[in-house]
Structure 1
Amino acid sequence: MRDNALLGPAEIRELAERAGVRPTKTLGQNFVIDPNTIRRIIATAGVEPGETVLEVGPGLGSLTLGLLDAAERVVAVEIDPPLAEQLPETAARFRPGSAGRLDVVLSDALRVTELPAAPDALVANLPYNVAVPVLIHLLETFPTLKHGLVMVQDEVADRLAAGPGSKVYGVPSVKASWFAEVRKAGVIGTNVFWPAPKIRSGLVAFVRREEPLAQVDRRTLFDVVDAAFAQRRKTLRSALSGWAGSGAEAERILRRAGVDPGLRGERLSVEDFARIAAAADAPAEGSRG
């Protein structure tokens, strides 16, 4: 990354005043005010000079400027109109000549389906309240995303990176691991943000799987996962009974998949869930295709 100045507390507050905005909890706005944190995020993300990077929630542009230094192009999706309007001006002011390498998309990241350029990487400080659905939506919608690093609430980072058997293993863990290999890549303290959140943030790195883990319908797979964890203390036979239509049918599907009906969802890997989804979609025994 080229050694250009990054935004500090004084610049962030000045830009906020210029835009006429105050951080809101509704939009999950906590702006990074520490240049070293920005450098750490980009270094950990492994952004390559020729890549197009997707940033969600660029806010006042502290991470955006660092990404412009590291990548070929940045596509920033911002839901707040005043912030989206000001971001190109900030880039032009602090990174003269970068205008052609920054695209700002005024949109809700949960609903965006088209971008001006196909992204290679995702690097973002995701709003705490929608971090998991945004990440899953982007991985599903943009298959060109090969790797990335997102900053989320620390306990959410633990959930995303958890493996079977962990107390925090659940729906986010399985759905994220369907798309990518996921790992926790660090912890960020509260004092690098304005306003300072009450809880720490976690860094989650991912690398997309080159091939799907199994040839199954993803919607069926995710329905199974949602049902399995809806009531964590129930056995799979009981937890999947509503999804399958009955406890007996759930047991038949589980046994067809080679999964013990007496287990709980927290013991299953994403591959196990894929086998259940495949067994559910397979023709019933004795039927003719």
Structure 2
Amino acid sequence: MTDASAGPRLLGPAEVRSLADRFGIRPTKQRGQNFVIDANTVRRIVRESGVRDGEVVLEVGPGLGSLTLALLEAGAEVTAIELDPLLADALPGTIAEFAPDHTGRVRVVPADALRVTEVPGPPPTALVANLPYNVSVPVLLHLMALLPSLEHGLVMVQSEVADRLAAPPGSKVYGVPSVKAAWYADVRRAGAIGRNVFWPAPNVDSGLVAWTRRVPPTTAVSREAVFAVIDAAFAQRRKALRGALRGLAGSGEAAEAALVAAGVDPLARGESLDIHRFVKIAEALAAG
């Protein structure tokens, strides 16, 4: 681990506000900016993430650097993707000020994490981030698909989104995020975060979601084909699968035939199926 005597100084409320004032940064709701001002919280996130000394970590939306500094404290190398040009420009100076011995272990990528097609530098093996809440699920799924090098991760998202991502089949909040995330990883709830650790304090509660990469389901069709079935199944949650998949299959009869071939009750609903059942349905639809 990094020598604590030479380790980064973490940010508290005074430091966060001072940096924001210095760089003329005002948090915006549009980009879901809520900066963590509590050192114990970022240390907890890093601890729960299981990041190892020397591991390359991808961080999305580093903001003013609170979590970045905690990742450096744990011995990680950090690739930070930041959409806001002000924040992207400011982060290297913050690292130089608060972690002068670690400036060579951070690379800043000024980009939209939802649209990146490659990530420079060594392939990251962990994703640890306080994700912008308005795009958290699309960003998470995009990066899981883009970067097979990612082995595990921990993200902070809106509490209800955390529940959905980690929900098992049959639960009330099980839906598209739950099933698609299960394609890539085993996902679990890893705790709750209070509102008072942010500046400005959000009007929603936050939750931690941890995940571990696993081999995707074996299938004769593409991931896109499976995801199309998932989207159709949950587009109208109250509909039985026979009706929900009608458009995708071409007719109710074709949908029913595919469901029967997949071993699924045509009157079942999407929330009762796990990822492997959706794979079977997609294969049956493709077989026609």
Alignment counterpart, residue 191 of structure 2, candidates 178, 186, 202: 186
How far apart, CA to CA, are the structure 2 residues paired with 1:116 and 1:71? 20
Alignment counterpart, residue 176 of structure 2, candidates 171, 174, 178: 171
1:146 is aligned to: 151
- The question of 1:79 aligning with 2:83 is answered yes
Any conservation in 1 of the 2:51–2:76 contact (CA below 8 Å)?
no
How far apart, CA to CA, are the structure 2 residues paired with 1:80 and 1:21? 10
2:67 is aligned to: 63
Letter paired with 1:185 = A
- Residues 91-102 of structure 1 aligned to structure 2 (within 5 Å): 91-102=95-106
Q: Alpha-carbon deviation of 1:66?
A: 0.7
1:287 is aligned to: none
Letter paired with 1:165 = G
How far apart, CA to CA, are the structure 1 residues paired with 2:118 and 2:218? 27
Figure out how many residues of one structure are paired with residues of the other and give that number: 282
Distance 1:40 1:72, change over 3 A: closer
What do residues 179-221 of structure 1 show as CA deviations (whole Å, max 9, x unaligned)?
0000000000000000001111000000000x22222310001
Alignment counterpart, residue 203 of structure 2, candidates 193, 198, 201: 198
How far apart, CA to CA, are the structure 1 residues paired with 2:157 and 2:168? 18
- The question of 1:207 aligning with 2:212 is answered yes
1:50 is aligned to: 54
- Residues 100-179 of structure 1 aligned to structure 2 (within 5 Å): 100-117=104-121, 118-179=123-184
Alignment counterpart, residue 263 of structure 2, candidates 244, 258, 267: 258
2:92 is aligned to: 88
Letter paired with 1:10 = A
Unaligned regions of 5+ residues in structure 1, if any?
285-289
How far apart, CA to CA, are the structure 1 residues paired with 2:89 and 2:74? 23
SS in 2 for 1:85: helix
1:231 is aligned to: 236
Letter paired with 1:19 = F
- Residues 21-36 of structure 1 aligned to structure 2 (within 5 Å): 21-36=25-40
- Identity among equivalent pairs (%): 65
SS in 2 for 1:181: strand
Q: TM-score, normalised by structure 2?
A: 0.96
What do residues 56-88 of structure 1 show as CA deviations (whole Å, max 9, x unaligned)?
000000000011122431000000001000101
Letter paired with 2:156 = M
Any conservation in 2 of the 1:52–1:71 contact (CA below 8 Å)?
no
Letter paired with 1:151 = M
Unaligned regions of 5+ residues in structure 2, if any?
none
How far apart, CA to CA, are the structure 2 residues paired with 1:212 and 1:22? 41
Q: Alpha-carbon deviation of 1:252?
A: 1.0
What do residues 81-119 of structure 1 show as CA deviations (whole Å, max 9, x unaligned)?
010001011001111122211010000000011112211
In the TM superposition, structure 1's runs of 4+ consecutive aligned residues that sit over 6 Å from their partners are: none
Higher deviation after alignment, 270-279 or 141-150: 270-279
Q: TM-score, normalised by structure 1?
A: 0.96
Letter paired with 1:56 = V
CA RMSD, 1 decimal: 1.0
2:282 is aligned to: 277
Any conservation in 2 of the 1:154–1:187 contact (CA below 8 Å)?
yes
Letter paired with 2:134 = N
Any conservation in 1 of the 2:34–2:198 contact (CA below 8 Å)?
yes
Letter paired with 2:239 = K
SS in 2 for 1:262: coil
